[in-house]
Amino acid sequence: MSKLKQKLAEKIPASRERISKLVKNHGKVKVDEVTIAQIYGGMRGLKSLSTDISYLDPEEGIRFRGYTIPECLEKLPRAEGAEMPYVEGHFYLLLTGDIPTQEDIEDVLEEFRARRRVPQYVFDLLRAMPRDAHPMSMFSAAVVAMQRESVFVKRYNAGMTKMDYWDPMYEDAVNLLAKLPEIAAYIYRMKYKGDTPIASDPNLDFGANFAHMMGIDHPYDEISRLYFILHSDHESGNVSAHTTHLVATALSDAYYSFAAGLNGLAGPLHGLANQEVLRWVQNLMSKMDKTPTREDLKKYVWDTLNSGQVIPGYGHAVLRKTDPRYTAQREFALKHLPDDDIFKVVSMLYEVVPPILKEHGKAKNPWPNVDAHSGVIQWHYGVKEYDFYTVMFGVGRAIGVLSNIIWDRINGQALERPKSLTTAMLEEIARQNS
């Protein structure tokens, strides 16, 4: 058993006992009530899920295992001379709740290296797909194709007890996670760079190897690490995390579950928003022969709203302040690309959009989310193919959602199956309560 798996195994009895006590002694305690507006409004705010991997405070933003983003960036181990921490260390934190030591990191790096090789049939499958297929459909197809590798399925079919479900889920999750950077970079180089994939370098860590396989020099390795860490998790109610969790509750394996989550991530209100932001900004810039002024931006924002569209990269279902994931990327950009023209526009939008959204009066949160900043940094380093941005979001998101479904298995998460009512039934409930 690897040291990471051993560490996880040590945490299991206490967690199981804690949850079983909670359910046994307080199972009837009410946490929330559901309103008719919530049923029709996408269950917004309904407290009905549990995860210890991360918590999203509306005013403060995300905490990973209790640590804010600046705390994670400061405390997690990094390679000598590197600006950003190891992605592998962040996975260790999300999975175990502990900050890894330098020695722990060496083991995790080794564990990822050992599981990294992507089966040839995945590349064959990608090559057989139409070259104009969306990279997210390629990414999702590659993940689901590897389902035949599932250790969980083999062990389940051979017969195992529920208490052991977490073990093969761990195997599947780490096997899958370790392969994602190569699959993503392969799709990129095949589709957009004249079919010139670059071989994985076994000596590099998750983020640096991705940058290497993308064919982009330093500091792209730093932004890759940062990007994957920032996108890893946003508690469990967002579409990609919730879908992955939901599908896993049917005892579907990590491949099926994560592919389903990726399909949700591909929606324009979720992970696809990062490509929408850049498209929207560049659409404005292409119409002008100069850098847009504040007044130009104000007009553009109002024109977008008045035509019934949303301002991409702004607003959030839970957050009520500037997304700290936006701030972390902004700090990186201020240091590495302060003179980039698109960054200047993105910065100006940060001042222009919130007051307009407040005046417009619809969005509950007028502040930027993570997607408002991702595209500009990618573009700066030469990743100019918008469609690919969500694939990178997906690589990062895997770190959180796969940790989460390992814990679902540990804690014996039940099949998720909420009850639905007909419109007539809800009308009757409304009549009785009015």
Binding mask 120-159 for ligand CMX (x = CB under 6 A): ----------------------------------------
Query: What is the CA 134 to chain-centroid distance, rounded?
Result: 18
Report which residue's Cβ sits closest to ligand CMX.
315
Output DSSP code: residue 62: E
The footprint of ligand CMX on this chain (CB under 6 A) covers a number of residues equal to 21
Q: Residue 357 Cβ, how far from ligand CMX at the closest point, in Å? A: 6
Q: Which residues pair with 300 in a beta bridge?
A: none
Q: Is 6 exposed, middle or buried (0-12, 13-18, 19+ CB in 10 A)?
A: exposed
Q: CA-CA distance, 391 to 396, in Å (whole number)?
A: 9
Q: CA-CA distance, 78 to 100, in Å (whole number)?
A: 11
Give the type of residue at 51: T
Neighbours of 97 (CB within 10 A): 17
Q: Which of 371, 373, 380, 408 is an active site residue?
A: 371
- Rounded to a whole number, what is the largest CA-CA distance in the chain? 68
Helix (DSSP H) and strand (DSSP E) numbers for the chain: 20, 3
Output DSSP code: residue 202: T
- Pick out residues in 282-311 that bind ligand CMX (CB under 6 A): 305, 310-311
Q: Is 317 in the site for ligand CMX (CB under 6 A)?
A: yes
- Pick out residues in 11-50 that bind ligand CMX (CB under 6 A): 44
CB-nearer residue toward ligand CMX: 89 or 237: 237
Q: Which of 245, 270, 373, 380 is an active site residue?
A: 270
CB-nearer residue toward ligand CMX: 101 or 309: 309
Q: Is 68 helix (H, G, I), strand (E, B) or coil?
A: strand
> For ligand CMX, which stretch binds (CB under 6 A), given 85-93, 111-119, 132-140, 266-274?
266-274
Q: Residue 270 Cβ, how far from ligand CMX at the closest point, in Å? A: 5
**Residue 236: partners with Cβ closer than 8 Å, 6 or more residues away:** 49, 50, 51, 53, 242, 245, 404
Q: Residue 363 Cβ, how far from ligand CMX at the closest point, in Å? A: 4
CB-nearer residue toward ligand CMX: 299 or 362: 362
> For ligand CMX, which stretch binds (CB under 6 A), given 136-144, 263-271, 283-291, 408-416?
263-271
Q: Is 270 in the site for ligand CMX (CB under 6 A)?
A: yes
Binding mask 343-362 for ligand CMX (x = CB under 6 A): -------------------x
Contact of 144 with 259, CB cutoff 8 Å: yes
What is the DSSP code string of 115-146? T-PPPHHHHHHHHHS-TTS-HHHHHHHHHHHG
CB-nearer residue toward ligand CMX: 78 or 397: 397
Residue with tokens 């579907």: 252
Among residues 85, 207, 313, 375, the one that binds ligand CMX under rule CB under 6 A: 313
316 among known catalytic residues = yes
Among residues 365, 374, 404, 411, the one that binds ligand CMX under rule CB under 6 A: 365
Neighbours of 249 (CB within 10 A): 16
Q: Look up residue 163 and give its two tokens.
A: 């208490």
Q: CA-CA distance, 118 to 120, in Å (whole number)?
A: 6
Contact of 135 with 187, CB cutoff 8 Å: yes
Q: Is 322 in the site for ligand CMX (CB under 6 A)?
A: no
Q: Residue 90 Cβ, how far from ligand CMX at the closest point, in Å? A: 19
Q: Which of 231, 242, 316, 380 is an active site residue?
A: 316
CB-nearer residue toward ligand CMX: 168 or 271: 271
Q: Is 328 in the site for ligand CMX (CB under 6 A)?
A: no
245 among known catalytic residues = no
Sheet with 54-57, side-by-side order of all strands: 54-57, 61-64, 67-68
CB-nearer residue toward ligand CMX: 232 or 252: 232
Q: Is 344 helix (H, G, I), strand (E, B) or coil?
A: helix
Q: Is 79 in the site for ligand CMX (CB under 6 A)?
A: no
Residues 38-47, buried b or exposed e (16+ Cβ, 10 A)?
eeeeeeeebe
Closest listed residue to residue 237, CA positions, set 359, 58, 7: 58
Q: Is 316 in the site for ligand CMX (CB under 6 A)?
A: yes
Q: Residue 137 Cβ, how far from ligand CMX at the closest point, in Å? A: 18
CB-nearer residue toward ligand CMX: 204 or 376: 376
Q: Residue 340 Cβ, how far from ligand CMX at the closest point, in Å? A: 21
| Interface residues toward ligand CMX, by CB under 6 A | 44, 238, 269-271, 273, 305, 310-317, 362-365, 369, 371
Give the residue numbers marked as catalytic: 270, 316, 371
